[in-house]
Amino acid sequence: MEVKWTCQPCNGDLITVCDKLEVYAPSEHPSCTVSEDTESGDIKSVNVSCSTSKVYPRARCRFYREKDGGNPVEITNPVYSHTPT
């Protein structure tokens, strides 16, 4: 959404306050599910599905892993998709 805002002081000259107004909306009803693909008791992959509605701008997701109680490490190449609603 783009809106142009102006104001007019007493001298009559129009002043542009801003050329673009971006409206941000927090997510509504976020939810996540996790499923593990196991073979012989070892975890082969983990699928995380998250969904929400009416959020702007498009959400940015970051995924982290932690091994043996260590510090979180960002997963740099997750398979990620965004489906517009």
pLDDT at 74 > cutoff 80: yes
Paired residues of 50 in beta bridges:
32
Tokens of 46: 């983990």
CA torsion 36→62→72→69, rounded to 10°? -30
CA neighbor of 27 nearest in space, from 54, 57, 60: 54
Amino acid 5: pLDDT: 60
Amino acid 76: pLDDT: 81
Tokens of 45: 């992959």
Paired residues of 38 in beta bridges:
43
Tokens of 74: 């960002």
Q: In the chain, what are the domain boundaries?
A: 25-58
Amino acid 14: pLDDT: 65
Q: How confident is the model over 6-52, as pLDDT tens digits? A: 666 677 676 666 556 566 777 777 777 777 777 777 777 777 777 77
